[in-house]
């Protein structure tokens, strides 16, 4: 969350570049990072992995993270599902959200990291 609160794309890039180098040095070619969930439920057990509650912020930061990981020759991916914002009952929970709201809030940030992928962080 502190990374997201910084809005510092270069710091996000540098952090994930370090993760990518470590993964590469250990012989891995994939990093399961980049949590795309928005913080909606304050008691969510995975909030520490999240970047914030703003889709624009999360999308921009994730894009920078993915570029940092992939610059090290390691596949970076976006982790977690949309509207998966709580741990309690997560295996049986049925999230009901209309298509417009889903596209504007909980899915918009999944598209942002892939816009202009060759640009610098």
Q: pLDDT (tens digit, 9 = 90+) per residue, 32-54? A: 877 788 888 777 777 788 888 88
pLDDT number for residue 52: 84
DSSP string spanning 12-69? Answer: HHHHHHHHHHHHHHTT-SEE---B------TT-TTGGG---S-HHHHHHHHHHHHHHH
CB 64 within 8 A of CB 16: yes
Query: Per-domain residue ranges for the chain?
Result: 2-114
Mean pLDDT confidence for 103-113: 74
Give the separation between CA 30 and CA 51, rounded to whole angstroms. Answer: 21
Model confidence at 94, in pLDDT bands (50, 70, 90)?
Answer: confident
**pLDDT above 70 for 116:** no
More confident of the two residues 93 and 116 = 93
- Mean pLDDT, range 6-14, rounded to an integer: 93
Mean of the pLDDT values across residues 85-96? 78
- Is the CB of residue 96 less than 8 Å from the CB of residue 52? no
Alpha-carbon span 40 to 8, nearest angstrom: 22
User: Environment class of residue 23 by beta-carbon count within 10 Å: exposed (0-12), middle (13-18) or buried (19+)?
Assistant: buried
């Amino acid at each position: 969350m502190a990374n997201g609160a910084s809005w510092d794309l270069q710091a996000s890039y540098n952090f994930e570049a370090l993760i990518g180098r470590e993964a590469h040095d250990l012989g891995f070619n994939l990093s399961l990072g980049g949590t795309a969930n928005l913080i909606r439920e304050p008691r969510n057990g995975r909030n520490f992995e999240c970047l914030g509650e703003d889709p624009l912020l999360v999308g921009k930061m994730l894009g920078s993270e993915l570029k940092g990981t992939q610059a090290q020759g390691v596949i970076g991916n976006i982790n977690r599902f949309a509207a998966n914002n709580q741990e309690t009952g997560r295996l049986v929970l049925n999230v009901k959200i209309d298509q417009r709201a889903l596209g504007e809030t909980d899915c918009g940030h999944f598209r942002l990291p892939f816009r202009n992928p060759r640009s610098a962080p």
